[in-house]
Structure 1
Amino acid sequence: MKKKIDLLNGPIAGTLARLAFPIMGTSFIQMGYNLVDMIWIGRLGSGAVAAVGAAGMFMWLANGVTTIPRIGGQVTVGHKLGAGDKAAAAEYARGALRMGAFLGILYGIISLLLNNQLIAFFQLNSLKVIWDARLYLMITCGLVVFSFLDQVLGGILAAMGNTVTTFRVTTIGLLINLILDPVLIFGVGPIPRLEVAGAAMATVLAQVIVFVLYLRAVWHEPVIFANLHLFVKTRKEYVKEMVKIGFPPAIQDSLFSSISMVIARLIAGWGDAAVAVQKVGSQIESISWMMAGGFSTAVNAFIAQNYGAGKGERIRKGYRTALVIMAVWGAFTSFLLLVFPEFFFRIFITEEEVIPMGVDYLRIIGISEIFMCLEGAATGAFQGMGKTVPPSVTGIVFNTLRIPTAMLLSATALELNGVWWALSLSCVLKGTVLPVWFALVFRKFYKNYKEMKGRSV
């Protein structure tokens, strides 16, 4: 594949940058999906934003479920490509796609059958908001299989060193979403005004088109996809290995989503407007965590191939480069959120009584952005080495602590701001503990690597 980057040779900074920048660009595009929705939905009022915010929690939960085939497939494919075993890499890719399709269909069926009970969890106040949330859930999660497959395909391509294809097809998806959003939300000519349901339909249609573009891009790819044989079963030991690698981060992501739902229910005690603030604020904040997640994917792919090839020195230099880049980006986003919170929030919601709540959210959460980015770099490094337990344990422990911390702080004079402080402090702790943990683990790995290299000379 012409767009494939050689991750095992060449200047480390340049190689990592060429791999990471398209993924980071893709993260911007994925963030764009959500921001475009929020900009248009915000014009319908804070009630519509609250509906999408509640239903969107289950799309977030879906991303946790798809982590099993996405991370499991990306890491194992990367290891096998690094070791030069292309046949095994193709079989792992096949297993990841089959698993992604199965989980996506299952999640969609559950979302359709239980949509009323799922939205009832948030105890929203308005019947209109509740119905809009149910509609958004049924459409986006009912057809979530395309999102699952898009993510798995993107992970496999990243493991191959091809991140440009993902950037291109996702960019096209955003452009389609940009066109469809206002048309379906507000109606044009014979197309009726669909409001929240229109936003959901625009998102799903864009995901379907991205999936078709992915298929077109990989149809004649000679290394992995030409040997995929999709309808042939994958060996059980391969499936078990992918689950072993993908399950810890999936639990972490799913638990994170569940914790966020509990927090959202707590926030709902301050009214639907508070739910809308959290939804919009998190989308603005995604300028940081989407980038951190995208760069984490790049670090994962880079380290996975070099780990499979036994290149310890290249792993060390690559990780250090990633830390520097993420630290700079985190500092930049912290500056933006601390200095210009009202400017960014007004892009989405202009209701004067809601603005002060949004400003408080962005300033409090802005303190933690650099730590969030450092956590992303360390997470990608751990995953690339096939060690997914440490980032999962760190995430589970400190994310779980958000609930009692939010309850305690919100019971003080801080009130709603106490919830925002609980979220920010947990990010600071994760971004401190995980990089230190990786440094300790890598020190042991690097020592063994140097000893083995010395014996081979």
Structure 2
Amino acid sequence: MKSKTNSKDLTDGPVLKRILALSVPIIGAMFMQTATNVVDIVWIGKLGSDAVAGVGTSTIFLQLVWAFASIFLVSSGVLVSQAIGENKNKKAKEYSRDSVKALMLIIILMGIILQVYFDEIIGFFNFKKQVVIDSAYVYLSWMSIFLIFSLGTLLLTQISNSRGDAKKPFLYFSIGVVINLVLDPIFIFTFGWGVAGAAWATGIAQFIAFALFLRKSFRTFFGGLTQWGFRFIRINELIKVGLPTSLERIIFTVVGIAITKIISDWGSDAIAAQKIGNQLEAITFMCISGLSSAMLSFTGQNYGAKKFDRIKKGYFYAMIISLLLGVVTGLLFYHFDEELMGVFVSERNTILIGADYLEVLGVAQVSMCVEMVTTGIINGLGRTKYPAVINTSMTVIRVPLAFFLANNMGMGVDGVWYAIGISVFLRALFLTVAYFYLTNKLLKSEVTVS
């Protein structure tokens, strides 16, 4: 039997058991990560819808940094898992080291850009209220400094998941959430720091989680200090695999900026409603993202080991889980829309606008779950360009469709919500077609699995 040093073997044993053993801790970790953001918005919501609008707008640009960084967040997951499947631990560490070095360069460069060009960035939205601009500035300024900890933790999580160990990320994300829960009300209200307090609470929590994670896993993931240097060994492979997904996410974020610009015509209440709706959907998003990440690692290891039937069986089980999750969360969003919005804000207009958004999101939850899990499996095969092309093209149509439905069809801001729902459905449809095309093309083994 081959040995996988410091890694969990996903190429043997019952398929469903292996998927659940890996995905449940990942989902827990993703849920904890989302909980940090939700907690922030709950407390910031007590400062008013204008503060939520400012913070929500600034997070779009933090997501843009994450989109650039995903070149190495995604490719490290794909290539490390495949190297582990091939039983090449040294190669896996080389991918991990190069990912860290490249990620740090991206974070530094993008952080400087966000700090220097803030006025031009936020000025694009032409906000009428100074409180919205001030909230955006304070939150973006501090959070761009803390990016090294949040994205660093995500990279460590991806590498750990690819090695089949999802328990460590769950532990460290949980520690971060508890710290954030304690610090948020103290910094925001007791110290009177407002939006800056939310940023500091999150930043400190992320720093502690990152430091603990790195201390525990450094040698396992990256090797000894003598193996480090300024030379990039595997960078071309990492970029080749990760670039399509990164471009997809960059375009997705740019589309999000354009959508926010359209929504801004209906004022800060509409922007706040969208940001709260996005935070609520993030609960589903992060849970299914955990399953998607697990399927990337599971598929990558089994593809590296040439156990193709396990990949097909894994797809079947993953679809059942994702459909169940999509139905449950969809029903919650659709039937408890106003109640959920009321947790975050008290302004009636924001609640009503957000309730309409949640109803559309509720209908779209099943499609989103199918789309994300299928993306993880296809990425695990190393064919990242397929999800990238499909997700990008079906996301770009949101802008003209939203403008058309909102303005030409007279649907107002509801037209924007419908455009988002339609694009999610189309992504799920075309990705499913791509999965069956690729499995017929690549996976032809008839090996029997347990």
Question: Normalising by structure 2, what TM-score?
Answer: 0.95
C-alpha distance after superposition, 1:337-373 (max 9, x if no partner): 1111111111101212222111111001211100000
Deviation at 1:392, TM superposition (A): 0.5
Whole-angstrom distance in 2 between the partners of 1:101 and 1:177:
24
432, 435, 443: which one pairs with 1:435?
432
Deviates further, 268-277 or 203-212: 203-212
| Residues 289, 372 of structure 2: 8 Å contact kept | yes
Within 1, Cα distance between the matches of 2:439 and 2:127?
A: 47
In structure 2, which of residues 317, 333, 349 is the aligned counterpart of residue 321 of structure 1?
317
User: Residues 6-61 of structure 1: CA distance to partner in whole angstroms, max 9, x if unpaired?
Assistant: 21111110000010001111111111011101110000000000010110101111
Partners of 1:98 and 1:230 within 8 A in 2: no
Within a 5 Å distance, the mapping from 1:384-399 to structure 2 comes to 384-399=380-395
Residues 1:121 and 2:124 aligned together: yes
Which of 78, 84, 88 aligns to 1:85? It is 88
Matched, 1:421 2:424: no
Take 2:360 and 2:81, find their aligned partners in 1: how far apart are those partners?
38
Q: Are residue 336 (structure 1) and residue 336 (structure 2) matched? A: no
CA distance in 1, matches of 2:69, 2:127: 28
Contact 2:115 2:141 in 1 (8 A): yes
One-letter identity of the residue aligned with 1:18: A
In the TM superposition, what are the counterparts of 1:76-155 in structure 2 within 5 Å? 76-155=79-158
Question: 1:214 matched to which residue of 2?
Answer: 213
| Rounded Cα–Cα distance in structure 2 between residues aligned with 1:67 and 1:403 | 23
Deviation of the 1:228 alpha carbon: 6.7
RMSD: 1.7
- Aligned residue in 2 for 1:166: 169
Q: Take 2:362 and 2:225, find their aligned partners in 1: how far apart are those partners?
A: 44
Q: Which amino acid aligns with 2:213?
A: Y
Rate the CA distance shift 1:215–1:342 in 2: closer, same or farther, 3 A. Answer: same
1:13 is matched with 16
**Letter aligned with residue 180 of structure 1:** L
3-state SS of 2:348 partner: coil
State the match for 2:248 in structure 1: 252
Partner of 1:41: 44
Partner of 2:181, secondary structure, is helix
The residue matched to 2:125 in structure 1 has which SS?
coil
Q: Aligned residue pairs: how many?
A: 444
Residue in 2 aligned with 1:194? 193
Query: For residues 181-238 of structure 1, what are the alpha-carbon distances to aligned partners after superposition, in whole Å with 9 as ceiling and x for unaligned?
Result: 1111112xxxx311111111111111111110111221453xx4335756324544x1
Q: 1:130-157 CA deviation, whole Å, 9 max, x = no partner?
A: 0110111111013312222111111111
Residues 226-264 of structure 1: CA deviation (Å, up to 9, x unaligned):
35756324544x111100111111111111111101100
Q: Kindly provide the amino acid, as one letter, of the partner of residue 199 in structure 1.
A: A
8 A contact 2:5–2:89 mirrored in 1: no
Q: 1:233 to 1:307 in 2, by over 3 A?
A: farther
Contact 2:269-2:349 within 8 A present in 1 as well: no
- Percent identity over paired residues: 34
Which residue identity does 1:231 align to in structure 2?
Answer: W
One-letter amino acid of the counterpart of residue 436, structure 1: V
Q: Where do 1:174-189 residues align within 5 Å?
A: 174-187=177-190
SS of residue matched to 1:136: helix
User: Does the C-alpha gap of structure 1 residues 12 and 147 become closer, same or farther in structure 2, counting only changes over 3 Å?
Assistant: same
1:109-168: CA deviations, max 9, x gaps?
111111121111121111121011011111101331222211111111111001100000
**Distance of aligned partners of 1:235 and 1:420 in 2 relative to their CA distance in 1, 3 Å threshold:** same
Q: Which amino acid aligns with 2:440?
A: R
- Contact 1:87/1:227, CA 8 A, preserved across alignment: no
Indicate if the aligned counterparts of 2:7 and 2:84 stay in contact, CA closer than 8 A.
no
Contact 1:108–1:143, Cα closer than 8 Å, also in 2: no
Tell me how far 1:322 sits from its aligned partner.
0.8
Contiguous gaps of at least 5 residues in structure 2: none
8 Å contact kept, 1:95–1:233? no
How far, CA to CA, are the matches of 1:402 and 1:102 in structure 2?
A: 32
Tell whether the 8 Å contact from 2:58 to 2:137 is kept in structure 1 after alignment. yes
Corresponding residue SS for 1:354: helix
Q: Does the Cα contact within 8 Å between 2:94 and 2:222 map onto a contact in 1?
A: no
Offset at residue 266 of structure 1 (A): 0.7
> How far apart are residue 278 of structure 1 and its match?
0.3
Structure 1 counterpart of 2:371: 375
